[in-house]
Amino acid sequence: MNVLHHSDVNYCNDIPDVLLAMIEDERRGLAKELLIQKHTDWSYEKEYRIILEDFSNDKADNYREVEYASDTVDRIYFGLESKMEDRERLVAALAGREIRFFEMKKAKTSIGIYPYEI
């Protein structure tokens, strides 16, 4: 892997000043900042991201495999709109590993979503 950047996700309430960064021609730094930022509402995730440098327009690259140690992942969260067949395929492929699976559900009595272990 040709890693461009890796970092803990930065949870904040502020939106990056894209215009200022473009004026100062810091596009590469801006891309890194935007790709590792999420609103503080998601800070419970304690997410870490790896960004590869070799971006490609070839759609086949979107599905290439990346090797990692089998104990690297301990939880997987499926989004509200994830397809059931994708969930089932991933759960089956990772059977036997100590991975906990969660699906996100909309809260019934408040605004927001929460993880539900499956």
Span 93-110, pLDDT tens digits = 998 888 999 998 888 877
| pLDDT, position 100 | 93
**Residue 98 structure tokens:** 């100590």
3-state secondary structure of 95: coil
- Domain count within the chain: 2
Examine the domain organization and report whether 76 and 52 are in the same domain: no
CA atoms of 49 and 46, how far apart (whole Å): 10
Q: Model's pTM, two decimal places?
A: 0.50
> Can you give the residue range of the structural domain that contains 115?
69-118
Examine the domain organization and report whether 47 and 5 are in the same domain: yes
- More confident of the two residues 68 and 51: 68
Examine the domain organization and report whether 36 and 83 are in the same domain: no
Examine the domain organization and report whether 55 and 7 are in the same domain: yes
Half-sphere exposure of 3 (CA within 13 A, CB side): 6
